[in-house]
């Protein structure tokens, strides 16, 4: 048995390149409602980022992170029924959020 593969799937920490991680990331977001919640959270995060830039209020950055992750975690725990990969691979998961966001906008992933 491959040590990088548990009974429930690969360990996110085993991926050495983001290009290898992203297909796994998508399997962790197969539920349409989960993807939609990620999309809403990311959009609200961008709104908070824009508010921070336009108002000069740095607390909008914290608000953006909180709202973004709140929507994503509701998607995972409530609909996808899994633990977010961000607990084991935070940078790749953050990158995956934005690649998936782009892929939803461009129609590559069903919304």
Q: Is the separation of the CB atoms in 65 and 3 below 8 Å?
A: no
- For residue 77, being part of any structural domain is answered with yes
Q: How far is CA 71 from the centre of its chain?
A: 10
User: Is 29 domain-assigned?
Assistant: no
**Across 53-63, average pLDDT:** 97
Domain that holds residue 102: 40-106
In a domain, 4, yes or no: no
The pTM (predicted TM-score) of the whole model is 0.86
What is the number of domains present in the chain? 1
pLDDT tens track for 5-54: 344 678 888 999 999 999 999 999 999 999 999 999 999 999 999 999 99
């Amino acid at each position: 048995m491959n040590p990088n593969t548990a009974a429930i799937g690969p360990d996110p920490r085993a991926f050495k390149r983001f290009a290898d991680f992203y297909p796994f990331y998508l399997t962790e977001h197969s539920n349409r409602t989960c993807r939609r919640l990620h999309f809403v959270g990311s959009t609200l995060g961008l709104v908070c980022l824009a508010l921070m830039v336009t108002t000069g209020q740095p607390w909008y950055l914290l608000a953006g992170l909180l709202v973004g992750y709140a929507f994503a975690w509701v998607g995972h725990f409530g609909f996808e029924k899994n633990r977010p990969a961000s607990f084991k691979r935070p940078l790749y998961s953050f990158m995956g959020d934005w690649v998936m966001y782009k892929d939803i906008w461009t129609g590559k992933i069903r919304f």
